[in-house]
Amino acid sequence: MKLLADATIDSLGARGVSAQTRDVYNRIRDFISAAARELAERDTAEVNNQIAFHTTAAGDEEYEPVARAQYKTAANQIEKKRNTDPASVLASQELPALAAALGPKKSDVEVDAAAMELMRLAGISAGGKVRLRDGRTGETFANPVTVGEIYMLKLSPERRSSAASASERWKCGHSRLTALHTRCRRFSPSSRTM
């Protein structure tokens, strides 16, 4: 039997899981593939911007001939990056799991490793916490903080709380919860002597 602490995202796609669980795993894998594709597209767009800048600067007469030659050399070096495929772009950035997500076989994707690479790029720790800065002072807080939406369970007023139910079970006859501890303590089974 596996422990919950040993469970991974890849465990969701293992044999013997339900169809719904496998569907969740497939959606996560598709998200990671789309994120990898977007990262590669962003890098390609950045390379295109750098080439356009260096080409324009190389043809600008305001710069000295030495500077223009340097811009032209830099544009030629950057041009070599333009023709690489997206998977090798990510692999060159030390993102091998995300590079594998762009491969032809979806079954080869290591979802856990790719998720960790995405979290590292986003600046999120493995526990899902980030370093926040104080808005007034600009200093970072001492400990990482979990950031997300608050989820609170609101109990309906018609439902009785477990403390109120306990007072009925002990048959104290007191409706106030504040009196429950002091007056009902003597009626509890542990305080009875036989």
User: 122 or 127: whose pLDDT is higher?
Assistant: 122
Question: Considering the domain boundaries, does residue 155 fall inside one?
Answer: no
Q: Are residues 28 and 100 in the same domain?
A: yes
Q: Are residues 107 and 25 in the same domain?
A: yes
Tell me the pLDDT tens digit for each residue of 175-188.
Answer: 444 444 444 444 44
**Residues spanned by the domain of 76:** 4-146
Confidence of residue 153 (pLDDT cuts 50, 70, 90): low
Residue 100 to residue 114: CA distance in whole angstroms: 9
* Nearest CA-CA partner of 163 in 173, 152, 153, 176: 176
Q: Are residues 53 and 13 in the same domain?
A: yes
Q: Are residues 43 and 11 in the same domain?
A: yes
Instruction: Give rounded-to-5 percent helix, strand, coil for the chain.
Output: 60, 5, 35
Q: Are residues 125 and 184 in the same domain?
A: no
pLDDT computed for residue 38 by the predictor: 92
Cross-strand partners of 145: 130
Number of domains in the chain: 2
Looking at residue 69, the DSSP 8-state letter turns out to be H
Q: Are residues 35 and 130 in the same domain?
A: yes
pLDDT computed for residue 128 by the predictor: 74
Question: Considering the domain boundaries, does residue 121 fall inside one?
Answer: yes
pLDDT computed for residue 168 by the predictor: 55
Q: Are residues 127 and 73 in the same domain?
A: yes
The mean-pLDDT minimum among 11-15, 100-104, 160-164 falls in 160-164
Q: Are residues 88 and 142 in the same domain?
A: yes
Do β-strands 145-146 and 129-130 pair in parallel, antiparallel, or remain unpaired? antiparallel
SS3 of residue 145 by DSSP? strand
Tell me the pLDDT tens digit for each residue of 41-60.
Answer: 999 899 899 989 988 888 88
Q: Chain centroid to CA 45: how far?
A: 25
Residue 35 to residue 115: CA distance in whole angstroms: 10
Residue 89 to residue 118: CA distance in whole angstroms: 15
pLDDT winner (highest mean) among 79-83, 150-154, 162-166, 181-185:
79-83
Residue 19 to residue 39: CA distance in whole angstroms: 30
Question: Considering the domain boundaries, does residue 109 fall inside one?
Answer: yes
User: 25 or 84: whose pLDDT is higher?
Assistant: 25
Query: What mean pLDDT do residues 79-91 have?
Result: 82
Query: Among positive and negative, which fits the CA dihedral 117, 119, 125, 126?
Result: negative
Query: What mean pLDDT do residues 143-171 have?
Result: 62
SS3 of residue 123 by DSSP? coil
Question: Considering the domain boundaries, does residue 98 fall inside one?
Answer: yes
Are the C-beta atoms of 33 and 108 separated by less than 8 Å? no
Residue 59 to residue 44: CA distance in whole angstroms: 23
Question: Considering the domain boundaries, does residue 33 fall inside one?
Answer: yes
pLDDT computed for residue 137 by the predictor: 92
pLDDT computed for residue 127 by the predictor: 74
Question: Considering the domain boundaries, does residue 153 fall inside one?
Answer: no
Question: Considering the domain boundaries, does residue 22 fall inside one?
Answer: yes
Tell me the pLDDT tens digit for each residue of 65-75.
Answer: 888 898 888 88
Query: What mean pLDDT do residues 70-93 have?
Result: 84
Share of the chain above pLDDT 70, in %: 72
Q: Are residues 80 and 42 in the same domain?
A: yes
Q: Are residues 46 and 131 in the same domain?
A: yes
User: How many residues are recorded in the chain?
Assistant: 194
